[in-house]
Structure 1
Amino acid sequence: MKQPLPIDTLQDGLVAACGRVRRIVLRAPTGSGKSTRIPQMLLDLNLVQGQIVVLQPRRIAARLLAARIAQEREVRLGGEVGYQIRFERVESAQTRIKFVTEALLLRQMASDPELKGVGAVVFDEFHERNLHSDVALALARRLQETHRPDLLIMAMSATLDTDAVAKWLGSAETLAADGRAYPVQIEYTHMPRNSTRPIWDAAAEQVRRVLQEEDEGDILVFMPGSYEIMRTIGAVRNLPQSGGVDILPLYGELPPEEQDRAVKPSPGRKVIVATNVAETSLTIPGVRAVVDAGLARIARFDPHRGIDTLLVEPVSQASAEQRAGRAGRTGPGRCIRLWSQTDHEARPLREVPEIKRVDLSETILLLLSSGWGDAATFPWYEKPDDKALQRALTVLADLGAVDTQGKLTPIGRRMSVFPAHPRYARMLLAAGELDCVFEVCRIAGLAQGRDILFRKVDDRTENARDSVEQEDGSDFFPRLALLQQAIDLKFDADACDRFGVHGQAARQADQAARQFLRLAEGQGLPVSDRIVDPAAIRRCLLLGFSDRLAVRLDAGTLRCALVHGRTGELRRESSIRNAKLLVAAEVDEIQARGGVTTYLSLATAIEESWLQELFPSEFSTVNHVRYDATQRRVVTRVERRFRDLVLEAKERDDAPSDAASRILAEEVAAGRLELEKWDAPVDAWIRRVNFLSKHCPELGIPVFDEAARRMVIEEVCTGAVAYRDIRDRPVFGVVRGWLTHEQAMALETYCPEKLILPRKKHPARIEYTADGQAEIEATVQELYDFPGSKLRVCLGKVPMVICIQSPARRTQQRTTDLDAFWKGSYEGVKKELRGRYPRHEWR
């Protein structure tokens, strides 16, 4: 049953407005229920035909709101109600209410300009003024004016300037729902702006007050980022009053199950410490008090310097009002602000829209490629600054996406299909020419979300990372290797932690990479399994970031000079700290230690010859050759000047093949390098050999031990001069040489790889384990009529371990005696499964 909410009183007004116009602007206070009830009203009152698409600025809100509506309507999530966020799509042909993030709607409009099947587009929390929502609103209005007069457009918020939005839309009606569900008492503290007291300690002090003064109710604490969240959690846990209280984090990068734990009701009292993801839309039942640090990390782009900034800034009055409203959702509440009322009144009324503070190059490219008009003619809700537009066009011109007149080029059109910054789109196209599409897709995936590596780790974790084979030359290479490690570990959080890898971030990077790979293949880019030259990958990175070229100023520090007269500092954890010349995929201005520092992140070492090839008119030259012990190769260092940047060196491989081969073999044997072709089939073959050697010693099959492994590695590395020469070299043929022809024939006879079950569609694979067992998986139905006496290997000598599965391929029982299973526990298994799988045969 739906709980009555203030927004319910707006039903008649909504019906009347929809009967008169198809553009509605709605303002309703926090806690009124607009995000969940308005879409249901549109559906239940038959106010629109087709799907109701609700835009949310945050993925967590889209997911949780869809789940909430499905729960209220007592329907399965993904049926009548669904959602689509990055890497996750939960919907069906029956979905009528669908929550999406703004970028996904833009891509949908690019591929389906008339939004076929969509009856309404609802812009929730429009006051946040995300760049994508601004563009989508302009496109929706133009679509309605040209081809879809039936399309309903709604903009909603608790702090929206309804008059301004209605005026821009034209012929729009304004609706308002009065009253918050419950009153919230606002309290101010007198913490001065220049106070040196950590904000987490100040917040913990107010949490202590609330725990002492209030006997019930959860507490929501707002902090600017995950670092401050964890410090706050630590400070609160140290309070004597925190005994028996759950203290939980909530931010966008958390796994969904941890997010759900923070927002779902619990029997005990909770303190939730969150970023601004909890500011709008989300309902957190039981919150009766808010402690607000009044800060957020705000992304800004400086069009003068081309630097992405992420600074902690005071939130606006509107944002503070939204946060306070979290305490009034389910009962009277209080909000304690860690700033004075005077400070509050001096804050801006609203946040600066994204269109005024972020990089516009991806948006401009999308406008041009979709035929939506150029930046000068597009009907912006609020036009960007001319300097920001010019900077975006300059970046696109540097990438070859637009010509000197700002018109889209053929390569720009090809770049536009990739849902990423144009820099990465350009890299992917270059990768198609340099035959490294797969690797660059993974790099693009790594760059889309948070870093998969924890920044500060102990020596044990560093050693674990070093044990994973990785190329030199780019901060992306260790991430590529560790991403593969995480994939191999199936993103298990504990296992990934041992390598200092954020499992959830790695999973998202892998999903993004797969999406890029599908797009690349769809564009006809070649994807091969040939040996990839790491230099080709680095060239692609250079093509995407030539305006972020940097040279180390001296060997004793990490200070760098960049093109266009900028300076910065290479991050200490960079894997290319010894590189002289580099490009940085991220140039961030970070507020830290009381100051602002420009950091170069995700850096890649660059060869000067590549610059000369791409920019031949901007060089002068001095050469010398030396042996670089840290690189384990002879390098030729070529000094050059590029534009206004003084270059000192490039490096190229020049190692004697015999020495390189020995080093490579030692590194592989020590586990610091990885032979990519030494894969699962190779290891499976070795386990078969050792299984046969153990169970049939009379055959004289030699054990494949560590000494055998070293011999094979040395043979694989013969003649190689660099890791790139051996990374993709065939291994299986060399490993198979461990057995004679007769022994190999015996292996196939005694230890087959597969077994034919007449009732199974495909032959069942036999897995030989390291502990000397042979396992086979099959469902109950696939085992019917098959004699248990045949489930043996080594000519009947060794019984298999049979993993008996349900029709859903979930193992129910393991046995080495199938006949005993039929006579014994089968009836119990059948009784348990037949009700769940009635369409399957049960004897």
Structure 2
Amino acid sequence: MSGHDPEQLPIHEIREALLAAVRAEGRVVVQAPTGSGKSTQIPQMLLDAGCAGDGEIVVLQPRRLAARMLARRVAQERGAPLGGEVGYQVRMEARVSAQTRIRFVTEGIVLRQLVADPRLARVSVLIFDEFHERHLYGDITLGRALQLQRTARPDLKIVVMSATLETARLTDYLAPCREVVSAGRTYPVDVRFLPKPVNFEREPVWEVAARVVGDLVADGVPGDVLVFMPGAYEIGRTCEALRHRLRGAEVDVLPLHGELPVEDQDRAVDASQRRKIIVATNIAETSLTIPGVRVVVDSGLARVQRFDPQRGIDTLLVEKISHASAEQRAGRAGRTAPGICVRLWTAREHAHRPMAETPEIRRRDLAEVLLTLKGTGVADVDGFPWLDAPEPKALQRAKTLLADLGATAGEDGPLTDTGRAMLRFPVHPRHARMLVEGERRRCLEAVAWLVALCQGRPVLLRNPGKAAERAREAELGPEETSDFFRALAAVAFARRCRFAVEACRELGIHAQAARQVVPMAAQFMRLAGVQGADTPPESIDRRAVAACLLAGFADQGARRLDRGTLRCELVHGRRGTLARESVVQ
């Protein structure tokens, strides 16, 4: 995404080569650097050249924020209302219509669409954007699209776009396939490392970043500044530290992450007369180009999903980024003029970082994608055309879980009626199984709220302080059976006070997280064909709800080893530790 005249973007130089490749083989790899305009311009090129016929161009994006913002930008460029000719669809949210010809979606959407429409009848072109990031659903959907193109849909066109030079394996995988390269236009970036290591345990990363930015501003370095942080929490702390350090300076400090309201996201991305310091997650690494940035300050950290075999779930961990990711971030400073990138680690530390990220398929839980694949008609999962095959143990774990949940008839068997019912809900199979059980036990509304609580960040803050704990106890009452019910009471309180940040903070409640639970619970009920209330139910059949929890997490049952410790023994001989703040003691 860029603030320049779209016709002047470098990607237009490859227009004829791109169209020729799409028309000849129906498969093409586009290698183009970030900021070249590929995300906004290539879908329009293909539509305007008639490559979609009467069908739809679907652009897969790795992040919801990118899908929404790119759709808005392309709609603006075409002078059309969002949701008309150009729209977007992400999990639990869509702005599309019967007139939509370009649809930006998150990567899991197309695979789920294949469940209902195995031929993708209305889709003429699939564009996989930012494929170099190697997200799980991008890999799987590309493999399924290839299967479809080689059988029932030879007319389906596939375009895979990457911002890196490592495209040879991808081109071989897609063969016969052409590769089209856009050189882009970049300026030199002066990459600087810290002279000595910094311990972020002693000096938090946000303080280090604020100090570096303050020094750059004091030195008169020109241009807007882009600071990379791993998540919303670190972004908030960085913004606070920057505003304190730069008070009185003529700058706007702006956060950018997926949990922000749309207006705040736009403020961070849109061109401005005032100098901006944007503090962002890796959304700004490749998906979006922010005009005016000439300085990058890189924490060198990102939140990464990895499967935790002890707990049987994916967990978000803060990890050091790779060389490839660091290069992408540094390049953001050289899109419009020579720039500077300051990395908050040393050159010696850099040498020991991995060259590239591990593809998600090698580190994520595969249960949800396996269930969806089976729903699209893939009977032989082991024979699927993987670009990178998953670890055999990970695939076996996913098969075992689906069988344990009753979603498949044995580990290699077809979907059961329960499994097909679970496919209606775009959540992890554990949560889908809870919702199906909620329907059967007639407690769907309560279960929908509980599952909604599991989809985002925790509603109740950990260790909120003694004053907040006392206020929480007084307002929400005692809770002795489940952390879920305590969290439900917190959402009900937040709803009553209209999600007022200060009122929620006094009880240690995350107002924005509570707000996001409401539409999600309603969506789960709609998917089940039930009209629910916009507030948690006051009366809950706790035994029925507990049975639903057990249906989804039977293998997560735990027993305290003794009363004097929080250590527990789990099913299959695993060990775990009960959270100290849990009401279950």
Q: Which moved more, 1:327-336 or 1:128-137?
A: 327-336
Aligned to 2:298: 292
How big is the shift at 1:558?
Answer: 3.4
Q: Pick one of 393, 413, 419 that aligns with 1:412.
A: 419
Whole-Å Cα distance in 1 between the matches of residues 405 and 527 of structure 2?
Answer: 19
Pair 1:8-2:12 in alignment: yes
Whole-Å Cα distance in 2 between the matches of residues 421 and 52 of structure 1?
Answer: 28
Whole-Å Cα distance in 2 between the matches of residues 191 and 373 of structure 1?
Answer: 54
Q: Which moved more, 1:374-383 or 1:183-192?
A: 183-192
Kept in 2: contact 1:223–1:274 (CA 8 A): yes
How big is the shift at 1:503?
Answer: 3.5
Aligned to 1:559: 567
Pair 1:115-2:115 in alignment: no
Aligned to 1:391: 397
1:566-610, Cα deviation, whole Å (9 max, x unpaired): 43332233232x3xxxxxxxxxxxxxxxxxxxxxxxxxxxxxxxx
Pair 1:444-2:451 in alignment: yes
Kept in 1: contact 2:422–2:432 (CA 8 A): yes
Whole-Å Cα distance in 2 between the matches of residues 295 and 125 of structure 1?
Answer: 19
How big is the shift at 1:530?
Answer: 11
RCO comparison, higher one (Cα < 8 Å, 6+) = 2
What is the TM-score when the length of structure 1 is the normalising length? Answer: 0.64
Whole-Å Cα distance in 1 between the matches of residues 291 and 239 of structure 2?
Answer: 20
How big is the shift at 1:104?
Answer: 1.3
Pair 1:69-2:74 in alignment: yes
Letter in 2 for 1:269: R
Secondary structure of 1:521's aligned partner? coil
Q: Against the structure 1 CA distance between its residues 153 and 10, is the aligned structure 2 distance closer, same or farther, given a 3 Å change threshold?
A: same
1:635-675, Cα deviation, whole Å (9 max, x unpaired): xxxxxxxxxxxxxxxxxxxxxxxxxxxxxxxxxxxxxxxxx
Pair 1:312-2:323 in alignment: no
Pair 1:506-2:514 in alignment: yes
1:667-711, Cα deviation, whole Å (9 max, x unpaired): xxxxxxxxxxxxxxxxxxxxxxxxxxxxxxxxxxxxxxxxxxxxx
Aligned to 1:840: none
Letter in 2 for 1:217: G
Kept in 2: contact 1:212–1:241 (CA 8 A): no
Kept in 2: contact 1:190–1:338 (CA 8 A): no
Pair 1:329-2:335 in alignment: yes
Kept in 2: contact 1:27–1:176 (CA 8 A): yes
Letter in 2 for 1:225: G
How big is the shift at 1:316?
Answer: 1.3
Aligned to 2:441: 434
How big is the shift at 1:2?
Answer: 3.1
How big is the shift at 1:242?
Answer: 6.6
Kept in 2: contact 1:26–1:155 (CA 8 A): yes
Pair 1:55-2:60 in alignment: yes
Kept in 2: contact 1:470–1:481 (CA 8 A): no
Whole-Å Cα distance in 1 between the matches of residues 158 and 527 of structure 2?
Answer: 31
Q: Pick one of 523, 527, 550 that aligns with 1:519.
A: 527
1:34-91, Cα deviation, whole Å (9 max, x unpaired): 1111111112222322211111100111111111112222222222211112232112
Kept in 2: contact 1:303–1:359 (CA 8 A): no
Aligned to 1:643: none
Letter in 2 for 1:431: G
Kept in 1: contact 2:310–2:576 (CA 8 A): no
Aligned to 1:263: 269
Whole-Å Cα distance in 2 between the matches of residues 456 and 8 of structure 1?
Answer: 53
Pair 1:210-2:184 in alignment: no
Whole-Å Cα distance in 1 between the matches of residues 221 and 357 of structure 2?
Answer: 35
Greater Cα radius of gyration, structure 1 or 2: 1
Kept in 2: contact 1:255–1:504 (CA 8 A): no
Secondary structure of 2:524's aligned partner? helix
Q: Against the structure 1 CA distance between its residues 326 and 476, is the aligned structure 2 distance closer, same or farther, given a 3 Å change threshold?
A: same
Whole-Å Cα distance in 2 between the matches of residues 399 and 384 of structure 1?
Answer: 21
- Report the count of equivalent residues: 572
Whole-Å Cα distance in 2 between the matches of residues 565 and 209 of structure 1?
Answer: 54
- Equivalence map 1:18-97=2 (5 Å): 18-49=22-53, 50-97=55-102
Pair 1:360-2:366 in alignment: yes
Secondary structure of 2:461's aligned partner? coil
Secondary structure of 1:298's aligned partner? strand
How big is the shift at 1:127?
Answer: 0.9
Report % sequence identity.
53
Pair 1:148-2:153 in alignment: yes
Whole-Å Cα distance in 1 between the matches of residues 464 and 92 of structure 2?
Answer: 29
Q: Against the structure 1 CA distance between its residues 13 and 82, is the aligned structure 2 distance closer, same or farther, given a 3 Å change threshold?
A: same
How big is the shift at 1:175?
Answer: 0.6
Whole-Å Cα distance in 1 between the matches of residues 171 and 105 of structure 2?
Answer: 23
Q: Against the structure 1 CA distance between its residues 257 and 318, is the aligned structure 2 distance closer, same or farther, given a 3 Å change threshold?
A: same
Secondary structure of 1:9's aligned partner? helix
Q: Against the structure 1 CA distance between its residues 496 and 277, is the aligned structure 2 distance closer, same or farther, given a 3 Å change threshold?
A: same
How big is the shift at 1:416?
Answer: 2.6
1:413-437, Cα deviation, whole Å (9 max, x unpaired): 3223321111112222222333211
Letter in 1 for 2:240: G
- Equivalence map 1:227-238=2 (5 Å): 227-238=233-244
Q: Pick one of 547, 553, 566 that aligns with 1:545.
A: 553
Aligned to 1:477: 485
Secondary structure of 1:376's aligned partner? helix
How big is the shift at 1:138?
Answer: 0.9
Kept in 1: contact 2:224–2:293 (CA 8 A): yes
How big is the shift at 1:557?
Answer: 4.7
Whole-Å Cα distance in 1 between the matches of residues 311 and 504 of structure 2?
Answer: 37
Aligned to 1:423: 430
Secondary structure of 1:219's aligned partner? strand
Kept in 2: contact 1:30–1:180 (CA 8 A): no
Aligned to 2:582: 574
Secondary structure of 1:154's aligned partner? strand
How big is the shift at 1:495?
Answer: 5.2
What is the TM-score when the length of structure 2 is the normalising length? Answer: 0.91
Kept in 2: contact 1:367–1:374 (CA 8 A): no
How big is the shift at 1:109?
Answer: 1.6
Secondary structure of 2:273's aligned partner? coil
Letter in 2 for 1:399: L
Kept in 1: contact 2:313–2:365 (CA 8 A): no
Kept in 1: contact 2:28–2:160 (CA 8 A): yes
Q: Against the structure 1 CA distance between its residues 319 and 51, is the aligned structure 2 distance closer, same or farther, given a 3 Å change threshold?
A: same
1:266-293, Cα deviation, whole Å (9 max, x unpaired): 3322222222122122122221100111
How big is the shift at 1:514?
Answer: 1.6
Whole-Å Cα distance in 1 between the matches of residues 295 and 540 of structure 2?
Answer: 56
Aligned to 2:534: none
Whole-Å Cα distance in 1 between the matches of residues 87 and 333 of structure 2?
Answer: 28
Secondary structure of 2:406's aligned partner? coil
Q: Against the structure 1 CA distance between its residues 215 and 368, is the aligned structure 2 distance closer, same or farther, given a 3 Å change threshold?
A: closer
Aligned to 2:229: 223
Whole-Å Cα distance in 1 between the matches of residues 380 and 174 of structure 2?
Answer: 20
Q: Against the structure 1 CA distance between its residues 482 and 192, is the aligned structure 2 distance closer, same or farther, given a 3 Å change threshold?
A: same
Whole-Å Cα distance in 1 between the matches of residues 274 and 516 of structure 2?
Answer: 32
Pair 1:173-2:178 in alignment: yes
Whole-Å Cα distance in 1 between the matches of residues 375 and 118 of structure 2?
Answer: 12
How big is the shift at 1:405?
Answer: 4.7
Kept in 1: contact 2:6–2:41 (CA 8 A): no
Pair 1:344-2:344 in alignment: no
